[in-house]
Amino acid sequence: MKTIIALIACSCVVGMANLSGAAQIASPTIFGSSTQTAAECVVVNGGTTNLAVTVEILDKSGAVLRSSNCDGSLAPGQFCSAGGIINAVLASCIATAVSVANLRGALTIEEPVPDGSGGTYPSPIRSSPLR
Amino acid sequence: MKAYAALAAFTCVFGLAGPARAAQILSPPLPTSIGSSGACYIRNTGTTAIHVQVSLFSNNAIVAAQYHDSCSGVALPGGQTCWVLVDHLPDGSFAACSATSGNIAKVRGTLEIRHRSPLRILVSEDLR
């Protein structure tokens, strides 16, 4: 019986231990055509405590194209992003933090839209969530 | 001894869960463009009415007069949908939507970023 109790206690402790340590949420790889060259990966902290978060946009080989450390700490309810013109065709995004339970993110591909004055502005055309 | 084993198991399972309380689902954040509006639709998939607190928020200020909330302060009947609409989201910003309820397991939601004129959906993501 002592063995059973020890086993239960051990399972409980080990189960809790899995909640600590760096964790990650990631998007699938998504495609942008030759005119859809801008990407934005945004995360929001839905928790109640500050969170150290790193956001990275990767190419098809896993090389980092854009990154942000969110100024070291992301406050509750605050957003953080990495993005820009990446010209990658295939891109994905990962966000790393001690806990990702309350972290949500999405990778969005943007394309230039005429602004009516001869210029353009970026407009999101598709997104994929980080999980 | 069996009682100790049962107590240990109970503490392990329910000690982590804690008492029932309001829980949240949250959308991934999405970027806005120029002339974007936002919508967050919340559906009660259950059969009994629940209260849901919904927030569509941004990293830049949303004008209060452009924020329309049909969810707060009223019970959402089973099978029904309520929404928060924002006529004009800040340009070049980010937006997300959260829903909080005592019975969040029955709540589903989606956030849409739209172009206002002509009206069309740009991107959307589900709350989870």
pLDDT, tens digit (0-9, with 9 covering 90-100), for B22-51 = 999 999 999 999 999 999 999 999 999 999
Question: Is residue A12 in some structural domain?
Answer: no
Residue A62 CB coordination number (10 Å): 10
- pTM of the entire predicted model: 0.84
Partner-chain contact B115 A81, CB within 8 Å = no
How far apart CA B25 and CA B13 sit, in angstroms, is: 23
DSSP state of B90: P
Q: What is the pLDDT at residue B16?
A: 46
**How close is the nearest chain B Cα to the Cα of A79, in Å?**
6
Is residue B13 very low, low, confident or very high in pLDDT (cuts 50, 70, 90)?
A: very low
Question: Is residue A76 in some structural domain?
Answer: yes
Question: Is residue A51 in some structural domain?
Answer: yes
Question: Is residue A2 in some structural domain?
Answer: no
How far apart CA B3 and CA A91 sit, in angstroms, is: 55
Of A12-21, A80-89, B79-88, highest mean pLDDT:
B79-88
The stretch A10-35 carries a mean pLDDT of 72
Question: Is residue A8 in some structural domain?
Answer: no
Question: Is residue A1 in some structural domain?
Answer: no
Per the CB < 8 A criterion, the answer to whether A82 and A55 are in contact is yes
Question: Is residue A15 in some structural domain?
Answer: no
Does the pLDDT at position B12 exceed 80?
no
B40 and A CB contact within 8 Å: no
A44 and B CB contact within 8 Å: yes
B34 and A CB contact within 8 Å: yes
Residue A94 CB coordination number (10 Å): 20
Report the percentage of chain B scoring pLDDT > 70. Answer: 84
**Domain extent at residue A119:** 23-129
B49 and A CB contact within 8 Å: no
Q: Mention every residue, 6+ apart, whose C-beta is less than 8 A from residue B64.
A: none
- The CATH number assigned to the domain holding A42 equals 2.60.120
Taking one residue from A and the other from B, the number of pairs with CB-CB distance under 8 angstroms is 95
**How close is the nearest chain A Cα to the Cα of B32, in Å?**
7
Is residue A2 very low, low, confident or very high in pLDDT (cuts 50, 70, 90)?
A: low
- Looking at the 3D structure of chain A, how many domains does it have? 1
The stretch A11-21 carries a mean pLDDT of 47
Question: Is residue A117 in some structural domain?
Answer: yes
In this prediction, the answer to ipTM > 0.85 reads no
The stretch A23-35 carries a mean pLDDT of 95
A8, A15, A124 ranked by CB distance to B30: nearest: A124
